[in-house]
A and B are shown apart, each in its own frame.
Chain A
Amino acid sequence: MSMPMTDPTTMAIPPKPKPLAICIRDLRVSYGKFEAVKGISLDIPHGEVFGFIGPNGAGKSSTFRVLATLQPKFRGMALVCGLDVLSQPQQVRDVMGFVPDFFGVYEDLTALEYLHFFAAAYKLPMSKRKGTIDDVLALTDMTHKADSPVDSLSRGMKQRLALARVLLHDPKVLLLDEPSSGLDPRARIEMRELLKALREMGKTILISSHILQELSQLCTRIGIIELGHIVAQGSLNDIYRKLQLMRVIHVRVENPADDLLDRLQKIPGVGSVETQVDRWAIKLHEDLMSVADLHQALVEEKARLTMFQPEAMDMETAFMKLTEGKTA
């Protein structure tokens, strides 16, 4: 009895699903009796910039170390590009670049030697090595510092060199633990621009930082971690909505009559209006009324506006609301 033949061209082959860039399930990391990470789960698709926020000792660096294959003892599961960090550590290292939260120096090397050292460590083919190093030096704007001793570089330069190092083998996933820590404002802005360029190149970036404003400008999603637990994750707007955070809009009018104040408080979506010395601070439920609609409503209420200033959504407020200030 012959098997029924099927024409492969007529079969609808479903495209093989692309694994997530980072997938963590119920991750638990313990140091002796102390449990630093208590069951974290994260899914980060390719191309995403995921910000990891949390107070000191919350478990961020432990999570990074697991993904960087530097934490052999943990429970749960951690995959990088579908590769298990426990069973396929070598393959994970090929697709991942890790910048730790400190930058140690090989004081005896120049920047160029430093990159050649790591190019050899990443086992880059000899034919590609020089070109790749030139490219990463150019990308990180370090070409003019190639012959400077690593020891003599500023902290900002060292961080850029660290980024250049992890770009040598063109990894798909970048794990950046506090890359802006200790940098001056200029170096921080330069680092942010560099990370934006990497985002444009399609790299998946998991980044931790204490500078919340910076993450809000860079990340597509964030996760807030405290005492080893993820207390919130999603896009910034999702989190604000979830927390029912009200946006504050500062308004100054030419005709601040009492009845106008009463009428404003009755506009649907306005939470409260606080009278300050020279202005009113209107707290707005953005899910009920947009900022533009409020402006329109104020005009309709015959308010003669001399100032209408929405306050930027404050990640620090979200952070403070979500976390209890407890550290390990």
Chain B
Amino acid sequence: MSIWGIIPELPLLRRELTELSSRRRTYVIRFVGAIIVLTAVMLYYSYHVSLLESNRYQYGPGVGNPNRFFGAGASIFKGIVPMLFVSVQLLMPALICGSITIEKERNTIGTLFVTRLSPMTIVLEKLGSRLVPMFTFLLLTFPVLAVVYSLGGVETTLLLGTLWLLFCECLLYASIGLLCSSWFATTVTAFIWSYVLTGLLAVFSALFASGPIALPTPFYLWMFAFQGFDSGYGNNTLLSESSSGFLQTLAQLLFVAAGTIPSLIATAVFVLLARVFLVRRAFISSSSVMLKVFKAIDRFFIRLNNRTTGGMVLMKDYNSLPLFDPVAWRERSKKSLGKARYLFRILVVMEGPTLFICVGAATLSSRSDFSGLRGLLLLVWAIAAMILAMKGATVISAERVRETLDALLSTPLTAKEILTQKIAGMQRLMIVLAIPILSVHLTLLLLHVDLLRLPSSSARTIFGVALYIVGCVLTTFLTMHILTWLAVLLGLRSKSQSRSAMTAICLIAAWVLVTSFTCRPGGFVFETLSMTGPTPQTNAPRRGPGYSGYNGYEETPEGQRSRTIAAAICCMARPDGGVQANESILISVGNPYIDQDELSYAPSRSIASAVTVSAVVFVWQLVMLLLIRATTLRLAPRLLGRQDQGTASASPEAKLSPSFPVMGSEVIA
């Protein structure tokens, strides 16, 4: 006990925080994270202030008077706070998912158990050790909030309620990550499942947000209490905009606090489950969970077959041995994500729901809104990208962790052969992941183009459809290879599977998110680049079959050219640029009623423009793939720690001549 004997010593918490503070990575992540969050907050702040300025200017009074900002703090505050909630949802799982798994991976969990720390103490101290960095991260945004608060309009209820709900949000997401960390054997699996559960919670919260039964997560409680929703509830908040008097403030705060009770109960349950699993699953094997599941399914089917047919086998498993490419052979025949039979099961699991949704969309959609299908496309791409990034990043670090890399590297296989065989072993997986993606593309094609009337369609349409199909197949595999090789490159140096997988997934996710927001049609980069050309002119219908303009403007050829260039540059910057460029082909030949302004890089429906963009992006992605692949293979020997090509041109005999050591010239030290 310390500090007057009241606060316990908390040795584990102290050790964790000491470790955290001694890592350079902590400060780098905090710095980069703070820059991102503060930039976003400041941008929003300046945007809002400029909006206020322009509004006041428009209506005349108050020009040049700083008092015009008074009372504007509440609306800015309400714009900024959701970013903080989202930051918690994104960061908290990453921070906490390794807290217990790292003890399992280092084999130090047994050492903790033999101390006088109880399992609950271990769980709580681990929780505390990850909450502290999250709170310090949130503290970084407080100066901005203080400026906003100084503008006035932020009620005490709003301020205190927000702080309480942020605290509860941290607790809830931390407890989910902690539960995953306690259940799983490795940080990689805990990381993935933390985000899966977090994502599911976010999705279900959003689904039920406007319904009668709302999932009372702190974020949605904050939305209900302070911001209100546009749909269903109008813009009314549960709490009044202003609270007058101490008692009313107190009552409103108590109302907010009462609303968080379910979330706090859920947190407590997750923590208790983490405590239970901490002991039960402390020494579980880190071997592939999926492989175990598949083997269990195999055993079940074999038993079933023995009972029903007496063990009749139509096609016997051919247990092959490696002939020429041993590394590829092992990837294909011994891994859960390589064996044909297991991959078929994964395909069924992925393709079944995908087809179901696609058929539903094809029969129920409104012929002008395909946002559901695009969401599905995003989802199957996200799953594919995550699996490929994880698999690619861990191809070498898994060998390092299992201490098999040195044995492999001391064989005559070159680093290039090892890596290319590893990737070759992933080809089947790529095909399986590509099938649902291509299914969604096919559905989009069916919705855009009437294929039955295609033979009688114009050559332009037939050409566009053919190009779309070929483009989809090519860009899907091209993008997959880019992601895989990039992940391999990022994971080459890493000594830990968790670190390599998390680095690859986070970097690819950051690439996708940043370019999706900035380079999308209507995004900052796209609009800036589009506006560099001549100013568009307006004199055309805004929608419908005759529409060929952009945002209601009839395009000049120069304007069209500048937007084609902008589209090409933006698609080149995006990892999914090839997919986006292909979609612009479809839109330019397909359904004329689609609300295209928000969706496509070919808003003017010019197939020439769309094909140009697609071709440029395809060539760029091909070059990018070759560059990443060449860089990876060139750096591989050095990063793997061995010599593949001879460096010295002179023979050793020449170098040593005339005293080249030969047998008999023994040196005595």
Which chain A residues numbered 75 to 122 have a C-beta less than 8 Å away from chain B? 77, 79, 82-90, 93-94, 96-98, 100, 102-109, 112-113, 116-122
Q: How far is the CA of A231 from the CA of B409 in the complex (A)?
A: 31
A143 an interface residue at 8 Å Cβ cutoff? Answer: no
B648 an interface residue at 8 Å Cβ cutoff? Answer: yes
Q: How far is the CA of A3 from the CA of B413 in the complex (A)?
A: 50
B247 an interface residue at 8 Å Cβ cutoff? Answer: no
A249 an interface residue at 8 Å Cβ cutoff? Answer: no
Task: Check if B413 sits within 8 Å of A121, measured CB to CB.
Answer: yes
Residues of A within 8 A of B330 (CB): 106, 108-109, 117
Task: Check if A98 sits within 8 Å of B406, measured CB to CB.
Answer: yes
Interface residues on B, range: 35 or more
A71 an interface residue at 8 Å Cβ cutoff? Answer: yes
Residues of B within 8 A of A70 (CB): 406, 409-410, 641-642
Q: How far is the CA of A103 from the CA of B402 in the complex (A)?
A: 9
Q: How far is the CA of A102 from the CA of B410 in the complex (A)?
A: 14
Give A6 Cβ to nearest chain B Cβ, in Å.
24
Task: Check if A232 sits within 8 Å of B669, measured CB to CB.
Answer: yes
Give B41 Cβ to nearest chain A Cβ, in Å.
40
Q: How far is the CA of A116 from the CA of B649 in the complex (A)?
A: 35
- Which of A23, A100, A230 meets B403, CB within 8 Å? A100
| Interface-facing stretch out of A40-48, A268-276, A293-301 | A40-48
Give B186 Cβ to nearest chain A Cβ, in Å.
14
Q: How far is the CA of A122 from the CA of B414 in the complex (A)?
A: 11
Give A222 Cβ to nearest chain B Cβ, in Å.
11
- Which of B324, B410, B648, B663 meets A87, CB within 8 Å? B648
Q: How far is the CA of A17 from the CA of B111 in the complex (A)?
A: 58
Residues of B within 8 A of A79 (CB): 652, 661
B19 an interface residue at 8 Å Cβ cutoff? Answer: no
B230 an interface residue at 8 Å Cβ cutoff? Answer: no
Give B660 Cβ to nearest chain A Cβ, in Å.
7
Residues of A within 8 A of B402 (CB): 104-107
Which chain B residues numbered 413 to 458 have a C-beta less than 8 Å away from chain A? 413-414
B404 an interface residue at 8 Å Cβ cutoff? Answer: yes
* Chain B proximity mask over A230-243: 1 for CB below 8 Å, otherwise 0: 11111000100000
Task: Check if A17 sits within 8 Å of B662, measured CB to CB.
Answer: yes
Q: Which of chain A's residues has its CB closest to B638's CB?
A: A72
Residues of B within 8 A of A19 (CB): 660-663
Task: Check if A104 sits within 8 Å of B405, measured CB to CB.
Answer: yes
Give A69 Cβ to nearest chain B Cβ, in Å.
5
B280 an interface residue at 8 Å Cβ cutoff? Answer: no
Are A72 and B663 also in contact (CB < 8 A) when A106-B402, A118-B326 are?
no
Q: How far is the CA of A103 from the CA of B404 in the complex (A)?
A: 7
Give B242 Cβ to nearest chain A Cβ, in Å.
62
Task: Check if B412 sits within 8 Å of A46, measured CB to CB.
Answer: no
Q: Which of chain A's residues has its CB closest to B644's CB?
A: A89
B375 an interface residue at 8 Å Cβ cutoff? Answer: no
B411 an interface residue at 8 Å Cβ cutoff? Answer: yes
A20 an interface residue at 8 Å Cβ cutoff? Answer: yes
Give B640 Cβ to nearest chain A Cβ, in Å.
9
B597 an interface residue at 8 Å Cβ cutoff? Answer: no
B287 an interface residue at 8 Å Cβ cutoff? Answer: yes
* Chain A proximity mask over B472-486: 1 for CB below 8 Å, otherwise 0: 000000000000000
Are A71 and B641 also in contact (CB < 8 A) when A41-B669, A104-B402 are?
yes
* Chain A proximity mask over B173-214: 1 for CB below 8 Å, otherwise 0: 000000000000000000000000000000000000000000
B552 an interface residue at 8 Å Cβ cutoff? Answer: no
Q: Which of chain A's residues has its CB closest to B666's CB?
A: A43
Are A20 and B669 also in contact (CB < 8 A) when A70-B641, A72-B643, A106-B330 are?
no
B231 an interface residue at 8 Å Cβ cutoff? Answer: no
Give B387 Cβ to nearest chain A Cβ, in Å.
19
Task: Check if A72 sits within 8 Å of B641, measured CB to CB.
Answer: yes
Task: Check if B646 sits within 8 Å of A87, measured CB to CB.
Answer: yes
Give A30 Cβ to nearest chain B Cβ, in Å.
14
B618 an interface residue at 8 Å Cβ cutoff? Answer: no
Residues of A within 8 A of B522 (CB): none
Residues of A within 8 A of B662 (CB): 17-20
Task: Check if B652 sits within 8 Å of A104, measured CB to CB.
Answer: no
Q: How far is the CA of A102 from the CA of B404 in the complex (A)?
A: 9
> How many chain A residues have a CB neighbour from B under 8 Å?
61
Task: Check if B646 sits within 8 Å of A93, measured CB to CB.
Answer: no
Residues of A within 8 A of B409 (CB): 69-70
A123 an interface residue at 8 Å Cβ cutoff? Answer: yes
Task: Check if B661 sits within 8 Å of A43, measured CB to CB.
Answer: yes
* Chain A proximity mask over B504-536: 1 for CB below 8 Å, otherwise 0: 000000000000000000000000000000000
Residues of A within 8 A of B645 (CB): 89
Residues of B within 8 A of A162 (CB): 407
A205 an interface residue at 8 Å Cβ cutoff? Answer: no
- Which of A25, A43, A89, A121 meets B643, CB within 8 Å? A89
A38 an interface residue at 8 Å Cβ cutoff? Answer: no
Q: Which of chain A's residues has its CB closest to B662's CB?
A: A17
Give A133 Cβ to nearest chain B Cβ, in Å.
10
Q: Which of chain B's residues has its CB closest to A41's CB?
A: B667
Task: Check if B411 sits within 8 Å of A121, measured CB to CB.
Answer: yes
Task: Check if A120 sits within 8 Å of B646, measured CB to CB.
Answer: no
Task: Check if B661 sits within 8 Å of A89, measured CB to CB.
Answer: no
Give A127 Cβ to nearest chain B Cβ, in Å.
12
Are A86 and B323 also in contact (CB < 8 A) when A19-B662, A100-B407, A118-B411 are?
no
A165 an interface residue at 8 Å Cβ cutoff? Answer: yes
Are A86 and B411 also in contact (CB < 8 A) when A43-B667, A108-B330, A126-B323 are?
no
Residues of B within 8 A of A23 (CB): 661
Residues of A within 8 A of B414 (CB): 90
- Which of B326, B335, B411, B667 meets A108, CB within 8 Å? B335
Are A117 and B661 also in contact (CB < 8 A) when A70-B406, A90-B412, A108-B334 are?
no
A207 an interface residue at 8 Å Cβ cutoff? Answer: no
B281 an interface residue at 8 Å Cβ cutoff? Answer: no
Task: Check if B410 sits within 8 Å of A117, measured CB to CB.
Answer: no
Q: Which of chain B's residues has its CB closest to A230's CB?
A: B669
Residues of B within 8 A of A206 (CB): none
Give B396 Cβ to nearest chain A Cβ, in Å.
13
Task: Check if A69 sits within 8 Å of B643, measured CB to CB.
Answer: yes
* Chain A proximity mask over B357-368: 1 for CB below 8 Å, otherwise 0: 000000000000
Q: Which of chain B's residues has its CB closest to A224's CB?
A: B669
Residues of B within 8 A of A103 (CB): 403
Residues of B within 8 A of A122 (CB): 411-412
B79 an interface residue at 8 Å Cβ cutoff? Answer: no
B665 an interface residue at 8 Å Cβ cutoff? Answer: yes
Residues of A within 8 A of B2 (CB): none
Task: Check if B410 sits within 8 Å of A84, measured CB to CB.
Answer: no
Residues of A within 8 A of B410 (CB): 68-70, 93, 96-98
B317 an interface residue at 8 Å Cβ cutoff? Answer: no
Q: Which of chain A's residues has its CB closest to B330's CB?
A: A117
Residues of A within 8 A of B644 (CB): 89-90
Residues of B within 8 A of A126 (CB): 323
Which chain A residues numbered 1 to 25 have a C-beta less than 8 Å away from chain B? 17-20, 23, 25
Task: Check if B404 sits within 8 Å of A104, measured CB to CB.
Answer: yes
Residues of A within 8 A of B322 (CB): 113, 116-117, 119-120
Give A294 Cβ to nearest chain B Cβ, in Å.
29
Q: Which of chain B's residues has its CB closest to A70's CB?
A: B642
Which chain B residues numbered 300 to 324 have a C-beta less than 8 Å away from chain A? 321-324
Give A236 Cβ to nearest chain B Cβ, in Å.
14
Give B409 Cβ to nearest chain A Cβ, in Å.
6
Task: Check if B403 sits within 8 Å of A45, measured CB to CB.
Answer: no
Q: How far is the CA of A108 from the CA of B322 in the complex (A)?
A: 14
* Chain A proximity mask over B623-659: 1 for CB below 8 Å, otherwise 0: 0000000000000011001111111111111011000
Which chain A residues numbered 117 to 148 have a C-beta less than 8 Å away from chain B? 117-123, 126
A-B contacts, 7 listed (Cβ < 8 Å): A71-B642, A93-B412, A100-B403, A102-B403, A108-B330, A118-B326, A120-B326
Top-8 shortest CB links A-B: A104-B403, A104-B404, A17-B662, A87-B646, A87-B648, A120-B326, A121-B411, A108-B334
Excluding A104-B402, A121-B408, 9 further A-B contacts by CB distance (< 8 Å) are A20-B662, A68-B410, A69-B642, A70-B409, A86-B646, A106-B334, A106-B402, A116-B326, A118-B407
